Protein backbone atom coordinates (compact mmCIF):
# COMPACT_ATOMS: atom_id res chain seq x y z
CA UNK A 1 0.00 0.00 0.00
CA UNK A 2 1.18 3.51 -0.78
CA UNK A 3 1.67 5.79 2.23
CA UNK A 4 0.82 9.46 2.18
CA UNK A 5 1.84 11.57 5.16
CA UNK A 6 -0.11 14.82 5.53
CA UNK A 7 2.12 17.85 4.83
CA UNK A 8 3.74 18.94 8.08
CA UNK A 9 2.41 22.35 9.04
CA UNK A 10 3.14 22.44 12.76
CA UNK A 11 5.72 20.95 15.13
CA UNK A 12 2.97 20.42 17.65
CA UNK A 13 1.14 17.14 17.02
CA UNK A 14 -2.22 18.38 18.34
CA UNK A 15 -2.04 21.43 16.07
CA UNK A 16 -1.07 19.21 13.14
CA UNK A 17 -4.03 16.88 13.74
CA UNK A 18 -6.37 19.87 13.90
CA UNK A 19 -4.98 21.20 10.61
CA UNK A 20 -5.45 17.76 9.03
CA UNK A 21 -9.11 17.92 10.06
CA UNK A 22 -9.60 21.36 8.56
CA UNK A 23 -9.83 23.07 11.95
CA UNK A 24 -7.96 26.35 11.81
CA UNK A 25 -9.48 29.27 13.67
CA UNK A 26 -9.66 29.65 17.45
CA UNK A 27 -13.44 29.48 17.20
CA UNK A 28 -13.27 26.19 15.30
CA UNK A 29 -10.83 24.78 17.87
CA UNK A 30 -13.11 25.78 20.70
CA UNK A 31 -16.06 24.13 18.91
CA UNK A 32 -13.98 21.02 18.35
CA UNK A 33 -12.73 20.52 21.89
CA UNK A 34 -15.92 21.78 23.57
CA UNK A 35 -18.68 20.92 21.12
CA UNK A 36 -22.08 22.38 21.92
CA UNK A 37 -25.28 22.01 19.93
CA UNK A 38 -26.18 25.61 20.75
CA UNK A 39 -23.23 26.75 18.62
CA UNK A 40 -25.21 25.57 15.60
CA UNK A 41 -28.53 27.19 16.48
CA UNK A 42 -29.29 28.35 12.95
CA UNK A 43 -28.86 24.83 11.54
CA UNK A 44 -31.52 23.59 13.95
CA UNK A 45 -34.15 26.05 12.72
CA UNK A 46 -35.21 24.07 9.71
CA UNK A 47 -37.98 25.67 7.60
CA UNK A 48 -41.33 23.92 7.95
CA UNK A 49 -41.07 23.21 11.68
CA UNK A 50 -43.56 25.94 12.63
CA UNK A 51 -46.23 24.71 10.24
CA UNK A 52 -45.69 21.10 11.25
CA UNK A 53 -45.83 21.87 14.96
CA UNK A 54 -49.09 23.78 14.51
CA UNK A 55 -50.64 20.73 12.88
CA UNK A 56 -49.29 18.44 15.60
CA UNK A 57 -50.80 20.61 18.36
CA UNK A 58 -54.08 20.68 16.47
CA UNK A 59 -54.05 16.87 16.27
CA UNK A 60 -53.52 16.69 20.02
CA UNK A 61 -56.40 19.09 20.61
CA UNK A 62 -58.70 17.10 18.34
CA UNK A 63 -57.53 13.74 19.67
CA UNK A 64 -56.40 12.67 16.19
CA UNK A 65 -54.06 9.74 15.72
CA UNK A 66 -50.52 10.61 14.59
CA UNK A 67 -48.37 7.96 12.90
CA UNK A 68 -44.60 8.18 13.16
CA UNK A 69 -43.42 6.52 9.96
CA UNK A 70 -39.83 5.34 10.48
CA UNK A 71 -37.22 3.21 8.83
CA UNK A 72 -35.67 -0.16 9.67
CA UNK A 73 -32.09 0.97 10.26
CA UNK A 74 -30.59 2.39 13.46
CA UNK A 75 -31.15 6.01 12.35
CA UNK A 76 -34.76 5.33 11.40
CA UNK A 77 -35.42 3.49 14.65
CA UNK A 78 -33.80 6.18 16.81
CA UNK A 79 -35.65 8.90 14.89
CA UNK A 80 -38.94 7.09 15.51
CA UNK A 81 -38.07 6.76 19.21
CA UNK A 82 -37.31 10.48 19.47
CA UNK A 83 -40.62 11.48 17.93
CA UNK A 84 -42.69 8.78 19.63
CA UNK A 85 -41.36 9.71 23.06
CA UNK A 86 -41.57 13.43 22.38
CA UNK A 87 -45.13 13.32 21.08
CA UNK A 88 -46.43 11.03 23.84
CA UNK A 89 -44.97 13.35 26.47
CA UNK A 90 -47.25 16.16 25.30
CA UNK A 91 -50.34 14.01 25.22
CA UNK A 92 -50.49 13.06 21.55
CA UNK A 93 -52.18 9.87 20.44
CA UNK A 94 -49.34 8.31 18.51
CA UNK A 95 -48.37 4.98 16.97
CA UNK A 96 -45.15 4.06 15.23
CA UNK A 97 -45.00 2.42 11.82
CA UNK A 98 -41.80 0.75 10.59
CA UNK A 99 -41.84 -0.88 7.16
CA UNK A 100 -40.63 -4.45 6.64
CA UNK A 101 -37.35 -4.45 4.70
CA UNK A 102 -38.16 -7.29 2.35
CA UNK A 103 -41.93 -7.01 2.08
CA UNK A 104 -42.28 -3.23 1.83
CA UNK A 105 -38.79 -1.92 1.18
CA UNK A 106 -37.40 1.46 2.12
CA UNK A 107 -39.55 4.52 2.71
CA UNK A 108 -43.27 5.25 2.71
CA UNK A 109 -45.24 2.93 0.48
CA UNK A 110 -48.82 3.01 -0.69
CA UNK A 111 -49.48 -0.24 1.22
CA UNK A 112 -48.10 1.31 4.39
CA UNK A 113 -50.09 4.51 3.93
CA UNK A 114 -53.28 2.56 3.30
CA UNK A 115 -52.70 0.53 6.43
CA UNK A 116 -52.15 3.58 8.65
CA UNK A 117 -55.22 5.21 7.12
CA UNK A 118 -57.20 2.10 8.02
CA UNK A 119 -55.98 2.34 11.60
CA UNK A 120 -57.63 5.75 11.81
CA UNK A 121 -54.66 8.08 11.44
CA UNK A 122 -55.10 11.72 10.44
CA UNK A 123 -51.46 12.81 10.41
CA UNK A 124 -48.38 10.91 9.24
CA UNK A 125 -44.93 12.18 10.22
CA UNK A 126 -42.11 10.46 8.39
CA UNK A 127 -38.68 10.23 9.96
CA UNK A 128 -35.44 9.40 8.12
CA UNK A 129 -37.42 8.88 4.89
CA UNK A 130 -40.11 10.41 2.71
CA UNK A 131 -38.25 13.14 0.83
CA UNK A 132 -37.89 10.97 -2.28
CA UNK A 133 -41.48 9.73 -2.13
CA UNK A 134 -43.25 12.21 -4.42
CA UNK A 135 -45.73 9.64 -5.75
CA UNK A 136 -46.58 8.34 -2.30
CA UNK A 137 -47.15 11.91 -1.10
CA UNK A 138 -49.83 12.28 -3.76
CA UNK A 139 -51.37 9.01 -2.62
CA UNK A 140 -51.34 10.18 1.03
CA UNK A 141 -53.16 13.33 -0.02
CA UNK A 142 -55.77 11.30 -1.88
CA UNK A 143 -56.40 9.32 1.31
CA UNK A 144 -56.92 12.57 3.22
CA UNK A 145 -53.80 12.10 5.33
CA UNK A 146 -51.80 15.17 6.34
CA UNK A 147 -48.25 14.16 5.52
CA UNK A 148 -45.36 15.80 7.37
CA UNK A 149 -42.01 14.76 5.97
CA UNK A 150 -38.86 14.94 8.07
CA UNK A 151 -35.78 13.61 6.31
CA UNK A 152 -32.10 14.12 5.56
CA UNK A 153 -31.77 12.25 2.28
CA UNK A 154 -31.75 13.89 -1.13
CA UNK A 155 -35.01 14.37 -3.01
CA UNK A 156 -35.43 12.47 -6.27
CA UNK A 157 -34.50 14.17 -9.50
CA UNK A 158 -36.68 14.50 -12.55
CA UNK A 159 -35.42 16.21 -15.67
CA UNK A 160 -32.36 17.51 -13.80
CA UNK A 161 -34.52 19.23 -11.22
CA UNK A 162 -35.10 18.24 -7.62
CA UNK A 163 -38.53 16.79 -7.15
CA UNK A 164 -39.98 17.93 -3.82
CA UNK A 165 -43.00 15.93 -2.66
CA UNK A 166 -46.34 17.70 -2.30
CA UNK A 167 -46.71 17.29 1.46
CA UNK A 168 -48.45 19.21 4.26
CA UNK A 169 -45.02 20.23 5.55
CA UNK A 170 -41.42 19.34 4.76
CA UNK A 171 -38.62 19.55 7.32
CA UNK A 172 -35.47 18.73 5.42
CA UNK A 173 -31.79 19.12 6.22
CA UNK A 174 -28.77 17.26 4.93
CA UNK A 175 -26.60 18.62 7.74
CA UNK A 176 -27.61 15.93 10.24
CA UNK A 177 -29.02 12.42 10.56
CA UNK A 178 -32.72 11.56 10.43
CA UNK A 179 -33.03 11.32 14.20
CA UNK A 180 -31.54 14.81 14.54
CA UNK A 181 -34.10 16.25 12.10
CA UNK A 182 -36.85 14.61 14.15
CA UNK A 183 -35.31 16.07 17.30
CA UNK A 184 -35.30 19.57 15.76
CA UNK A 185 -39.01 19.21 15.00
CA UNK A 186 -40.00 18.21 18.52
CA UNK A 187 -37.51 20.00 20.79
CA UNK A 188 -39.51 23.21 21.25
CA UNK A 189 -42.74 21.38 21.99
CA UNK A 190 -41.41 19.27 24.85
CA UNK A 191 -39.82 19.81 28.25
CA UNK A 192 -36.16 20.73 28.19
CA UNK A 193 -35.28 17.76 30.34
CA UNK A 194 -36.80 15.31 27.89
CA UNK A 195 -35.35 17.04 24.85
CA UNK A 196 -31.92 16.69 26.48
CA UNK A 197 -32.57 13.04 27.25
CA UNK A 198 -33.55 12.29 23.66
CA UNK A 199 -30.11 13.42 22.51
CA UNK A 200 -28.73 9.97 23.30
CA UNK A 201 -30.80 8.59 20.42
CA UNK A 202 -29.51 11.35 18.17
CA UNK A 203 -25.95 10.42 19.13
CA UNK A 204 -26.50 6.74 18.35
CA UNK A 205 -28.13 7.58 15.02
CA UNK A 206 -25.41 10.06 14.03
CA UNK A 207 -22.73 7.43 14.54
CA UNK A 208 -24.64 4.52 12.99
CA UNK A 209 -25.67 6.56 9.94
CA UNK A 210 -21.99 7.47 9.43
CA UNK A 211 -22.45 11.24 9.59
CA UNK A 212 -19.18 13.19 9.84
CA UNK A 213 -18.25 13.68 13.49
CA UNK A 214 -17.25 17.28 12.96
CA UNK A 215 -19.22 20.46 13.56
CA UNK A 216 -22.87 19.81 14.34
CA UNK A 217 -22.47 16.02 14.16
CA UNK A 218 -19.71 16.14 16.75
CA UNK A 219 -21.85 18.36 18.98
CA UNK A 220 -24.82 15.97 18.80
CA UNK A 221 -22.64 12.97 19.58
CA UNK A 222 -20.73 14.64 22.34
CA UNK A 223 -23.84 15.91 24.16
CA UNK A 224 -25.74 12.69 23.51
CA UNK A 225 -22.93 10.54 24.87
CA UNK A 226 -22.90 12.61 28.05
CA UNK A 227 -26.58 11.84 28.60
CA UNK A 228 -26.12 8.18 27.76
CA UNK A 229 -23.19 7.73 30.11
CA UNK A 230 -24.75 9.69 32.94
CA UNK A 231 -27.88 7.57 32.91
CA UNK A 232 -25.80 4.43 32.78
CA UNK A 233 -23.70 5.37 35.78
CA UNK A 234 -26.86 6.17 37.69
CA UNK A 235 -28.49 2.87 36.86
CA UNK A 236 -25.39 0.86 37.66
CA UNK A 237 -25.36 2.15 41.19
CA UNK A 238 -28.96 1.09 41.71
CA UNK A 239 -30.15 -2.38 42.53
CA UNK A 240 -32.64 -4.24 40.41
CA UNK A 241 -35.62 -3.29 42.56
CA UNK A 242 -34.80 0.36 42.13
CA UNK A 243 -34.37 -0.29 38.42
CA UNK A 244 -37.84 -1.75 38.27
CA UNK A 245 -39.27 1.04 40.41
CA UNK A 246 -37.87 3.80 38.25
CA UNK A 247 -40.20 2.74 35.47
CA UNK A 248 -43.18 3.75 37.59
CA UNK A 249 -44.11 7.41 37.72
CA UNK A 250 -42.46 9.09 40.68
CA UNK A 251 -44.74 10.73 43.28
CA UNK A 252 -44.30 14.14 41.72
CA UNK A 253 -45.67 12.71 38.49
CA UNK A 254 -42.50 13.63 36.64
CA UNK A 255 -41.19 11.29 34.03
CA UNK A 256 -38.04 9.44 34.89
CA UNK A 257 -35.43 8.60 32.34
CA UNK A 258 -36.86 6.70 29.41
CA UNK A 259 -33.83 4.76 28.25
CA UNK A 260 -34.50 1.57 30.18
CA UNK A 261 -34.22 -0.48 26.99
CA UNK A 262 -30.85 0.97 26.08
CA UNK A 263 -29.48 0.26 29.52
CA UNK A 264 -30.59 -3.33 29.40
CA UNK A 265 -29.27 -3.71 25.86
CA UNK A 266 -25.91 -2.39 27.03
CA UNK A 267 -25.88 -4.75 30.02
CA UNK A 268 -26.86 -7.67 27.80
CA UNK A 269 -24.02 -6.92 25.39
CA UNK A 270 -21.47 -6.96 28.19
CA UNK A 271 -20.08 -3.44 27.73
CA UNK A 272 -18.32 -2.57 30.96
CA UNK A 273 -16.76 0.83 30.49
CA UNK A 274 -18.21 4.08 29.21
CA UNK A 275 -20.04 4.22 25.90
CA UNK A 276 -18.16 5.88 23.06
CA UNK A 277 -18.40 5.93 19.31
CA UNK A 278 -16.80 2.46 19.12
CA UNK A 279 -19.37 0.85 21.43
CA UNK A 280 -22.20 2.46 19.47
CA UNK A 281 -20.80 1.69 16.04
CA UNK A 282 -19.74 -1.88 16.70
CA UNK A 283 -21.91 -3.20 19.54
CA UNK A 284 -25.14 -1.25 19.98
CA UNK A 285 -25.71 -0.29 16.33
CA UNK A 286 -25.41 -3.81 14.90
CA UNK A 287 -27.91 -5.09 17.48
CA UNK A 288 -30.45 -2.37 16.64
CA UNK A 289 -29.93 -3.04 12.93
CA UNK A 290 -30.14 -6.83 13.15
CA UNK A 291 -33.92 -6.90 13.61
CA UNK A 292 -34.56 -4.96 10.42
CA UNK A 293 -32.13 -7.12 8.49
CA UNK A 294 -33.63 -10.48 9.43
CA UNK A 295 -37.01 -9.96 11.11
CA UNK A 296 -38.82 -6.73 11.80
CA UNK A 297 -37.23 -3.54 13.10
CA UNK A 298 -40.31 -2.71 15.17
CA UNK A 299 -38.83 -4.86 17.97
CA UNK A 300 -35.76 -2.62 18.15
CA UNK A 301 -38.05 0.38 18.48
CA UNK A 302 -40.12 -1.44 21.13
CA UNK A 303 -36.96 -1.97 23.14
CA UNK A 304 -36.13 1.74 23.03
CA UNK A 305 -39.65 2.68 24.07
CA UNK A 306 -40.66 0.11 26.67
CA UNK A 307 -40.99 0.95 30.34
CA UNK A 308 -41.35 -2.67 31.39
CA UNK A 309 -38.04 -4.19 32.61
CA UNK A 310 -39.18 -7.76 31.92
CA UNK A 311 -40.17 -6.93 28.37
CA UNK A 312 -36.95 -4.95 27.91
CA UNK A 313 -34.88 -7.98 28.99
CA UNK A 314 -36.74 -10.21 26.55
CA UNK A 315 -36.32 -7.75 23.69
CA UNK A 316 -32.63 -7.11 24.42
CA UNK A 317 -32.06 -10.86 24.31
CA UNK A 318 -33.97 -11.09 21.04
CA UNK A 319 -31.82 -8.36 19.49
CA UNK A 320 -28.61 -10.01 20.69
CA UNK A 321 -29.69 -13.45 19.42
CA UNK A 322 -30.81 -12.05 16.08
CA UNK A 323 -27.48 -10.29 15.77
CA UNK A 324 -25.65 -13.59 16.34
CA UNK A 325 -27.78 -15.19 13.61
CA UNK A 326 -27.01 -12.22 11.38
CA UNK A 327 -23.29 -12.69 12.01
CA UNK A 328 -23.50 -16.39 11.15
CA UNK A 329 -25.48 -15.72 8.00
CA UNK A 330 -22.98 -13.06 6.96
CA UNK A 331 -20.02 -15.39 7.54
CA UNK A 332 -21.67 -18.17 5.54
CA UNK A 333 -22.53 -15.83 2.71
CA UNK A 334 -18.99 -14.44 2.78
CA UNK A 335 -17.51 -17.90 2.37
CA UNK A 336 -19.80 -18.61 -0.56
CA UNK A 337 -19.09 -15.20 -2.04
CA UNK A 338 -15.34 -15.72 -1.96
CA UNK A 339 -15.73 -18.89 -4.00
CA UNK A 340 -17.58 -16.89 -6.66
CA UNK A 341 -14.85 -14.31 -7.01
CA UNK A 342 -12.43 -14.19 -9.89
CA UNK A 343 -9.51 -12.12 -8.61
CA UNK A 344 -8.61 -11.02 -12.14
CA UNK A 345 -11.85 -9.05 -12.42
CA UNK A 346 -11.85 -5.32 -11.73
CA UNK A 347 -15.33 -5.39 -10.23
CA UNK A 348 -16.95 -8.28 -8.40
CA UNK A 349 -20.62 -8.78 -9.22
CA UNK A 350 -21.73 -11.81 -7.22
CA UNK A 351 -25.17 -13.21 -6.57
CA UNK A 352 -26.99 -16.04 -4.86
CA UNK A 353 -30.49 -17.21 -4.03
CA UNK A 354 -29.25 -18.11 -0.55
CA UNK A 355 -28.37 -14.59 0.58
CA UNK A 356 -30.99 -12.59 2.40
CA UNK A 357 -31.44 -9.00 1.24
CA UNK A 358 -30.72 -7.86 4.79
CA UNK A 359 -27.08 -8.95 4.71
CA UNK A 360 -25.87 -8.33 1.15
CA UNK A 361 -24.67 -4.85 2.10
CA UNK A 362 -22.47 -6.36 4.79
CA UNK A 363 -21.15 -9.00 2.38
CA UNK A 364 -20.34 -6.38 -0.27
CA UNK A 365 -18.67 -4.20 2.36
CA UNK A 366 -16.42 -6.95 3.69
CA UNK A 367 -15.33 -8.16 0.27
CA UNK A 368 -14.70 -4.63 -0.94
CA UNK A 369 -12.50 -4.05 2.08
CA UNK A 370 -10.58 -7.28 1.65
CA UNK A 371 -10.00 -7.12 -2.11
CA UNK A 372 -9.96 -3.33 -2.50
CA UNK A 373 -12.28 -3.59 -5.49
CA UNK A 374 -15.86 -2.39 -6.01
CA UNK A 375 -18.30 -5.14 -5.10
CA UNK A 376 -21.94 -5.73 -5.92
CA UNK A 377 -23.76 -8.47 -4.00
CA UNK A 378 -27.20 -9.50 -5.18
CA UNK A 379 -29.87 -11.44 -3.33
CA UNK A 380 -31.66 -13.31 -6.09
CA UNK A 381 -35.44 -13.48 -5.83
CA UNK A 382 -38.05 -15.36 -7.89
CA UNK A 383 -38.78 -12.40 -10.07
CA UNK A 384 -37.14 -9.37 -8.53
CA UNK A 385 -33.64 -9.27 -7.08
CA UNK A 386 -32.04 -6.79 -4.70
CA UNK A 387 -28.47 -5.60 -4.93
CA UNK A 388 -26.11 -3.77 -2.68
CA UNK A 389 -22.86 -2.16 -3.78
CA UNK A 390 -19.75 -0.91 -2.00
CA UNK A 391 -16.93 0.85 -3.73
CA UNK A 392 -13.40 2.10 -3.32
CA UNK A 393 -12.02 5.62 -3.64
CA UNK A 394 -12.06 6.82 -7.21
CA UNK A 395 -14.93 4.67 -8.47
CA UNK A 396 -18.36 6.27 -8.12
CA UNK A 397 -20.58 3.23 -7.81
CA UNK A 398 -23.99 4.91 -7.90
CA UNK A 399 -23.04 6.70 -11.10
CA UNK A 400 -21.83 3.42 -12.56
CA UNK A 401 -25.03 1.60 -11.61
CA UNK A 402 -27.33 4.37 -12.83
CA UNK A 403 -25.77 4.11 -16.29
CA UNK A 404 -27.87 0.96 -16.60
CA UNK A 405 -31.22 2.34 -15.47
CA UNK A 406 -32.76 0.74 -18.56
CA UNK A 407 -32.54 -2.66 -16.85
CA UNK A 408 -32.99 -1.49 -13.25
CA UNK A 409 -36.20 -1.04 -11.31
CA UNK A 410 -34.69 1.54 -8.98
CA UNK A 411 -31.35 2.63 -7.60
CA UNK A 412 -30.19 4.98 -4.88
CA UNK A 413 -27.17 5.77 -2.79
CA UNK A 414 -23.82 7.48 -2.73
CA UNK A 415 -20.46 7.22 -4.54
CA UNK A 416 -19.22 4.69 -1.97
CA UNK A 417 -22.37 2.66 -1.30
CA UNK A 418 -25.58 2.06 -3.19
CA UNK A 419 -28.63 -0.16 -3.37
CA UNK A 420 -30.80 -1.15 -6.30
CA UNK A 421 -33.31 -3.68 -7.54
CA UNK A 422 -33.77 -5.33 -10.90
CA UNK A 423 -35.59 -8.19 -12.57
CA UNK A 424 -33.75 -11.44 -11.85
CA UNK A 425 -33.57 -12.22 -15.56
CA UNK A 426 -31.41 -9.13 -16.07
CA UNK A 427 -28.66 -10.03 -13.58
CA UNK A 428 -26.33 -11.70 -16.07
CA UNK A 429 -26.43 -8.85 -18.55
CA UNK A 430 -26.04 -6.30 -15.74
CA UNK A 431 -22.96 -8.15 -14.52
CA UNK A 432 -21.46 -8.32 -17.99
CA UNK A 433 -22.03 -4.64 -18.65
CA UNK A 434 -20.42 -3.57 -15.37
CA UNK A 435 -17.40 -5.80 -15.93
CA UNK A 436 -16.92 -4.24 -19.33
CA UNK A 437 -17.47 -0.61 -18.38
CA UNK A 438 -15.04 -0.80 -15.47
CA UNK A 439 -12.18 -1.80 -17.77
CA UNK A 440 -12.14 1.65 -19.34
CA UNK A 441 -12.20 3.57 -16.06
CA UNK A 442 -8.99 5.18 -14.83
CA UNK A 443 -7.47 3.45 -11.79
CA UNK A 444 -6.50 5.02 -8.51
CA UNK A 445 -4.04 3.24 -6.27
CA UNK A 446 -5.05 2.60 -2.68
CA UNK A 447 -3.39 5.12 -0.42
CA UNK A 448 -2.93 4.91 3.33
CA UNK A 449 -3.37 8.43 4.64
CA UNK A 450 -1.14 9.19 7.62
CA UNK A 451 -1.65 12.10 9.99
CA UNK A 452 1.91 12.61 11.13
CA UNK A 453 5.27 11.11 11.86
CA UNK A 454 6.09 10.58 15.50
CA UNK A 455 9.42 9.56 16.92
CA UNK A 456 9.68 6.45 19.08
CA UNK A 457 10.31 8.10 22.40
CA UNK A 458 7.10 10.14 22.11
CA UNK A 459 5.04 6.97 22.37
CA UNK A 460 3.78 7.24 25.91
CA UNK A 461 0.60 7.80 27.91
CA UNK A 462 0.92 11.58 27.72
CA UNK A 463 0.56 11.35 23.97
CA UNK A 464 -2.39 8.99 24.33
CA UNK A 465 -4.12 11.51 26.59
CA UNK A 466 -3.55 14.25 24.03
CA UNK A 467 -5.06 12.05 21.33
CA UNK A 468 -8.04 11.23 23.52
CA UNK A 469 -9.06 14.86 23.36
CA UNK A 470 -9.98 14.17 19.72
CA UNK A 471 -12.69 11.67 20.67
CA UNK A 472 -15.37 10.79 19.70
CA UNK A 473 -13.83 9.41 16.53
CA UNK A 474 -15.78 8.69 13.40
CA UNK A 475 -16.21 9.86 9.87
CA UNK A 476 -14.31 13.09 9.17
CA UNK A 477 -12.44 12.67 12.43
CA UNK A 478 -10.88 9.26 12.36
CA UNK A 479 -8.54 7.98 15.03
CA UNK A 480 -5.16 9.59 14.27
CA UNK A 481 -2.96 7.42 12.06
CA UNK A 482 0.72 7.83 12.91
CA UNK A 483 3.95 6.58 11.44
CA UNK A 484 7.17 5.85 13.27
CA UNK A 485 10.22 5.02 11.24
CA UNK A 486 13.16 2.77 12.06
CA UNK A 487 11.83 0.89 15.05
CA UNK A 488 13.34 -2.40 16.11
CA UNK A 489 10.98 -5.29 16.72
CA UNK A 490 11.23 -8.43 18.83
CA UNK A 491 9.12 -11.21 20.34
CA UNK A 492 7.22 -11.85 17.09
CA UNK A 493 4.33 -14.29 17.30
CA UNK A 494 0.76 -14.83 16.19
CA UNK A 495 -2.42 -14.83 18.25
CA UNK A 496 -5.99 -15.88 17.51
CA UNK A 497 -5.24 -19.10 15.59
CA UNK A 498 -2.51 -17.49 13.55
CA UNK A 499 -4.77 -14.71 12.33
CA UNK A 500 -3.18 -11.75 14.08
CA UNK A 501 0.42 -10.68 14.50
CA UNK A 502 1.91 -9.58 17.81
CA UNK A 503 5.34 -8.22 18.51
CA UNK A 504 7.23 -5.78 20.66
CA UNK A 505 8.66 -2.46 19.58
CA UNK A 506 11.69 -0.88 21.18
CA UNK A 507 10.88 2.81 21.10
CA UNK A 508 14.33 4.24 21.74
CA UNK A 509 16.18 2.30 19.11
CA UNK A 510 16.96 4.47 16.17
CA UNK A 511 18.79 2.86 13.30
CA UNK A 512 21.79 5.16 13.50
CA UNK A 513 22.21 5.34 17.24
CA UNK A 514 22.25 1.63 18.02
CA UNK A 515 21.17 2.08 21.61
CA UNK A 516 19.47 -1.20 22.39
CA UNK A 517 16.63 -1.03 24.85
CA UNK A 518 15.52 -4.19 26.55
CA UNK A 519 12.11 -5.65 27.31
CA UNK A 520 11.01 -3.36 30.11
CA UNK A 521 10.24 -0.29 28.04
CA UNK A 522 9.30 -2.17 24.91
CA UNK A 523 5.83 -1.38 23.60
CA UNK A 524 3.31 -4.00 22.53
CA UNK A 525 2.13 -3.94 18.96
CA UNK A 526 -0.76 -5.86 17.45
CA UNK A 527 -1.59 -6.15 13.78
CA UNK A 528 -5.05 -7.59 13.22
CA UNK A 529 -5.43 -9.90 10.24
CA UNK A 530 -1.68 -9.77 9.51
CA UNK A 531 -0.70 -13.17 10.96
CA UNK A 532 0.91 -14.16 7.65
CA UNK A 533 3.65 -11.64 8.28
CA UNK A 534 5.11 -13.85 11.03
CA UNK A 535 7.22 -15.67 8.44
CA UNK A 536 8.50 -12.48 6.84
CA UNK A 537 9.81 -10.79 9.97
CA UNK A 538 12.61 -11.62 12.33
CA UNK A 539 13.56 -10.42 15.76
CA UNK A 540 15.91 -7.46 15.70
CA UNK A 541 14.63 -6.29 12.33
CA UNK A 542 14.17 -2.56 11.84
CA UNK A 543 10.87 -1.43 10.33
CA UNK A 544 8.59 1.49 9.63
CA UNK A 545 5.18 1.17 11.26
CA UNK A 546 1.87 2.86 10.53
CA UNK A 547 -0.52 2.54 13.46
CA UNK A 548 -3.12 3.93 15.84
CA UNK A 549 -1.78 4.60 19.31
CA UNK A 550 -4.08 3.13 21.92
CA UNK A 551 -4.36 2.30 25.56
CA UNK A 552 -4.72 -1.44 25.97
CA UNK A 553 -7.18 -1.96 28.80
CA UNK A 554 -7.90 -5.59 27.98
CA UNK A 555 -7.85 -7.86 31.06
CA UNK A 556 -7.26 -4.95 33.40
CA UNK A 557 -4.18 -3.85 31.45
CA UNK A 558 -3.27 -0.21 31.21
CA UNK A 559 -0.51 -0.14 28.65
CA UNK A 560 0.45 1.78 25.56
CA UNK A 561 -0.19 -0.32 22.47
CA UNK A 562 0.33 0.17 18.77
CA UNK A 563 -2.53 -1.06 16.62
CA UNK A 564 -0.55 -1.60 13.45
CA UNK A 565 -2.20 -0.83 10.12
CA UNK A 566 0.73 -1.40 7.82
CA UNK A 567 4.37 -2.44 7.97
CA UNK A 568 7.18 -1.07 5.85
CA UNK A 569 10.05 -3.54 5.69
CA UNK A 570 12.46 -1.39 3.78
CA UNK A 571 13.14 1.58 6.02
CA UNK A 572 15.08 3.75 3.67
CA UNK A 573 12.67 6.68 3.75
MN1 LIG B 1 -30.64 8.09 7.93
Query: What is the CATH number for 180?
Result: 3.90.1640.30
Give the Å distance between the CA of 197 and the centre of ligand 1: 20
Give the Å distance between the CA of 286 and the centre of ligand 1: 15
Domain enclosing residue 206, as ranges: 42-319
Give the Å distance between the CA of 460 and the centre of ligand 1: 39
User: H helices of 351-487, where?
Assistant: 360-371, 397-402, 427-439, 461-468
Give the count of domains, the chain: 3
Within-domain flag for 330: no
70 and 168 co-located in one domain:
yes
Give the Å distance between the CA of 210 and the centre of ligand 1: 9
Give the Å distance between the CA of 408 and the centre of ligand 1: 23
Give the Å distance between the CA of 92 and the centre of ligand 1: 25
92 and 17 co-located in one domain:
no
Looking at 439, 460, 488, which one is the last position of a domain?
A: 439
- Residue 384's pLDDT is 94
- Residue 146's pLDDT is 98
Within-domain flag for 496: yes
Give the Å distance between the CA of 533 and the centre of ligand 1: 40
Q: What is the pTM of this model?
A: 0.87
Evaluate whether 573 touches 544 at the Cβ level (below 8 Å). yes
180 and 89 co-located in one domain:
yes
300 and 361 co-located in one domain:
no
d(CA 378, CA 183): 35
Within-domain flag for 336: no
Give the Å distance between the CA of 71 and the centre of ligand 1: 8
Looking at 439, 456, 476, which one is the last position of a domain?
A: 439
535 and 430 co-located in one domain:
no
Give the Å distance between the CA of 195 and the centre of ligand 1: 20
77 and 198 co-located in one domain:
yes
Evaluate whether 140 touches 169 at the Cβ level (below 8 Å). no
Evaluate whether 505 touches 547 at the Cβ level (below 8 Å). no
Give the Å distance between the CA of 365 and the centre of ligand 1: 18
d(CA 229, CA 234): 9
Domain with residue 425: its CATH number is 3.10.310.30
Q: Which phi and psi angles does 7 have, rounded to 5°? A: -55, 130
50 and 167 co-located in one domain:
yes
Long-range pairs for 263-266 at CB < 8 Å and ≥24 separation?
A: 263/231, 263/232, 263/235, 264/303, 264/309, 264/312, 264/313, 264/316, 265/303, 265/316, 265/319, 265/320, 266/232
Cis omega (within 30 of 0) on the bond before 53?
no
- Residue 520's pLDDT is 53
Within-domain flag for 164: yes
Evaluate whether 446 touches 393 at the Cβ level (below 8 Å). yes
Within-domain flag for 28: no
Looking at 254, 289, 319, which one is the last position of a domain?
A: 319
Give the Å distance between the CA of 178 and the centre of ligand 1: 5
CA distances for 267 relative to 22, 261, 270, 313, angstroms: 38, 10, 5, 10
CB contact set of 538 (below 8 Å; sequence gap of 6+): 492
Within-domain flag for 92: yes
Give the Å distance between the CA of 153 and the centre of ligand 1: 7
Give the Å distance between the CA of 352 and the centre of ligand 1: 28
What tens-digit pLDDT sequence spans the chain (573 residues)? Answer: 889 999 999 999 999 999 999 999 999 999 999 999 999 999 999 999 999 999 999 999 999 999 999 999 999 999 999 999 999 999 999 999 999 998 888 899 999 999 999 999 999 999 999 998 999 999 999 999 999 999 999 888 788 898 999 999 999 999 999 999 999 999 999 999 999 999 999 999 999 999 999 999 999 999 999 999 985 555 555 444 344 444 433 333 333 335 899 999 999 999 888 899 999 999 999 999 999 999 999 999 999 999 999 999 999 999 999 999 999 999 999 999 999 999 999 999 999 999 999 999 999 999 999 888 999 999 999 999 999 999 988 888 988 998 998 999 988 878 888 999 999 999 999 999 999 999 888 776 778 999 999 998 888 889 999 999 999 999 889 999 999 999 999 999 999 999 999 999 986 544 444 444 444 578 999 999 999 999 999 999 999 999 999 988 777 778 899 999 999 987 554
Give the Å distance between the CA of 174 and the centre of ligand 1: 10
- Residue 416's pLDDT is 87
Give the Å distance between the CA of 128 and the centre of ligand 1: 5
Within-domain flag for 333: no
Give the Å distance between the CA of 79 and the centre of ligand 1: 9
227 and 252 co-located in one domain:
yes
Amino acid sequence: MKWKIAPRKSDNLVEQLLINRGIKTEKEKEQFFHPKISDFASDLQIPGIKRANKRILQAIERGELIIVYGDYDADGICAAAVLYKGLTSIGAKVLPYIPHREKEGYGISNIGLQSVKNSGAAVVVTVDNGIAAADQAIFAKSLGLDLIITDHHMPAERKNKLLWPDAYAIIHSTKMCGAAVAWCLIRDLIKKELSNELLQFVAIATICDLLPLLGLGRAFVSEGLKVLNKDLLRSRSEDSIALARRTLPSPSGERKTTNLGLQILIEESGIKGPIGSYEIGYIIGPRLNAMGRLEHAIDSLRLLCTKDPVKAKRLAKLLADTNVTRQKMTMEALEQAKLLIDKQKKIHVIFSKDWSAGIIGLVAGRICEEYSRPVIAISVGEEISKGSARSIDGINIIELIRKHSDILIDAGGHPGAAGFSLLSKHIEVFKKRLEEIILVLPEEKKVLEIDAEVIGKQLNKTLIHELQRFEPFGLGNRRPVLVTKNVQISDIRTVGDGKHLKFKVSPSVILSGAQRSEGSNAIDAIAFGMGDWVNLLKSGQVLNLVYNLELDTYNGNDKVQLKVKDIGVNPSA
